[in-house]
Amino acid sequence: MGCGKKLFLSYIVSCSGFQREALKTRWCQGCDRSAVMFAAGFLALENCRFCLVAETHPTNRGVAPVKIQMPALSPTMEEGNIVKWLKKEGEAVAAGDALCEIETDKAVVTMESNDDGVMAKILMEEGSRSVRLGTLIALMVEEGQDWKQVEIPPPEVVAPPPEAVAPPPAPAAPAPVTLRLSPAARHILETHGLDPKLATPTGPRGLITKEDALNLLKTSPVPKTTPAPPPPSPLQPKAAAPPAPGSRPNIPPLSTPGKPGAPGTFTEIPASNIRRVIAQRLTQSKTTIPHAYASVDCDMAAVMSLRKTLAKEEIKVSVNDFIIKAAAVTLKEMPEVNVTWSDNGPRPLDSIHIAIAVATDKGLITPIIKDAANKGVQEISANAKALAQKARDGKLLPEEYQGGSFSISNLGMFGISGFSAVINPPQSCILAVGTSRSELRLHEDDQTLRTQQLMTVTLSSDGRLVDDELASRFLDKFRANLEQPQRMILV
């Protein structure tokens, strides 16, 4: 330990309690970090890397930080959860490096750094939930600066709401006039149902006398009195009849008025951001969008035959890939369906981006196959597989699930014959796809029975944008494209 440090420590030990407090106050004003160590004990001062001479102690103002705030990683994101930090304090960071994983209302997204520097302080630890946008989550310093001396900004103090100005007191109501009645006058007026205020008092100090009540009775018509009906006798509760032999008891028992039922037991499971936003958007869709539904059966014989032919050439594509292609081509043929709803009304879209519903452990998410009308079925298949895997792994980027113009939800792999899906706003339509099934049908050409592979699709459309006639024409053209796959090459 240096000579200056020894002298300063010996000086502290020799100081009185009052002198130590004065020295501590002076020390705190000089260096916040050393003040913390000083409060912990004198020996901790040996760890201070600054000069310990009281008169020449340098002032430590800290290193100016580069603030990292909770970003908006989706258009509808209002808060996020910190899933995992990928950089530790003191670790070098380059622009483009992954800093942490954030669970948004859509998926778990990796947040990247925009600057070079050193991770200095993590303010929001892993597992922090419901972190609002703009909240400070970490601090960085520039390269070459001491990250241990980063200056931590004070927490933002939320200004208290302005006190409501109390309304001026209402003017006091005038005191009611007290009527003074003699006992005889009171009896006469009450017996005949007369209002005492109608009587003219002649007694001292405004007293209504018996004569005043009689005079009012003479000038007032005699009301017809009807005998009051006798009060109803209280109903006696009927005794519950005993259950018949062999009958089932009343389960659950009848509730007793005024007594709450026995509380049940349950386990409360906190909802994830994704689940909460799914609930909000589904509620918004069903309450603000007038849904209309139309269904059609598609013959899948041509698609099945084409898949077998492609499989012989080691080209593996699914039925859903053909459905995506058929929907995209139909939207290209009918651009009036490729619209979204905005505050000002319909908004036509220039691009055809098909959103496909993918089930994950945290809920449904819809990654987007962009420019699907200009892609082949094989390329659509490759994109769909890659996006579905990233969705299940929670690795989708925001641009991979934002901006769809038309959605497809396929439950055929679960054996669902048909269903109706909820529109994903602001889109105008969603196509619900069921499983293919074999049915025996009569062909009008030769009046023979043949087995067909039929698949039911149901279009949910926004009635403000796509009316019933337009939805019917869309489904008819979609069916034609799916039943004759060669047509999709010509569009």
In a domain, 306, yes or no: yes
Q: What is the pLDDT of residue 291?
A: 96
In a domain, 124, yes or no: yes
Q: What is the pLDDT of residue 315?
A: 92
User: Is the pLDDT assigned to residue 294 strictly greater than 90?
Assistant: yes
* DSSP output for 270-332: PPPHHHHHHHHHHHHHHHHS-EEEEEEEEE-HHHHHHHHHHHHTT----HHHHHHHHHHHHHH
User: Could you tell me the two tokens for 149?
Assistant: 């001396």
Three-state secondary structure call for residue 124: coil
Q: Is the peptide bond before 252 cis (omega within 30 degrees of 0)?
A: yes
In a domain, 405, yes or no: yes
Q: What is the pLDDT of residue 418?
A: 94
Of 460, 112, 62, the C-alpha closest to 282 is: 460
pLDDT digits (tens, 9 = 90+) for 357-409: 998 887 888 999 999 999 999 999 999 999 999 988 878 888 898 889 999 99
pLDDT-derived band at 22 (thresholds 50, 70, 90) equals very low
Whether 377 and 321 have beta carbons less than 8 Å apart is answered as: yes
In a domain, 446, yes or no: yes
In angstroms, the CA 166 to CA 158 distance is 23
In angstroms, the CA 350 to CA 344 distance is 18
Give the residue-averaged pLDDT of 413-419: 93
Between residues 334 and 106, which one has the greater pLDDT?
334
Domain C-terminal end among 121, 141, 161: 141
pLDDT digits (tens, 9 = 90+) for 234-291: 555 555 555 555 555 545 555 555 555 555 666 777 777 778 888 888 999 999 999 9
pLDDT digits (tens, 9 = 90+) for 157-201: 555 555 555 556 655 555 556 777 888 888 888 888 888 888 888
Percent of the chain with pLDDT over 90: 42
Q: What is the pLDDT of residue 12?
A: 45
pLDDT digits (tens, 9 = 90+) for 212-245: 888 888 887 655 544 555 555 555 555 555 555 5
Instruction: Report the CATH number at residue 134.
Output: 2.40.50.100
Domain C-terminal end among 105, 123, 141: 141
Q: Alpha helices of 141-251 — where are they, by DSSP H?
A: 183-192, 210-219
C-alpha separations of 56 from 30, 43, 51 in Å: 10, 20, 8
User: Is the pLDDT assigned to residue 75 strictly greater than 80?
Assistant: no
CA geometry: angle at 274 spanning 269 and 277, to 5°?
Answer: 100
Residue 129: which domain range? 66-141
User: Could you tell me the two tokens for 434?
Assistant: 């069921």
Cβ neighbourhood burial of 83 (10 Å; 0-12, 13-18, 19+):
middle
Q: What is the pLDDT of residue 267?
A: 76
Instruction: Report the CATH number at residue 485.
Output: 3.30.559.10
In a domain, 440, yes or no: yes
Of 343, 373, 366, the C-alpha closest to 488 is: 373
Between residues 456 and 251, which one has the greater pLDDT?
456
Mean confidence (pLDDT) of the chain: 79
Domain count of the fold of the chain: 2
Between residues 24 and 288, which one has the greater pLDDT?
288
Instruction: Indicate the residue type of 146.
Output: D
In angstroms, the CA 213 to CA 201 distance is 9
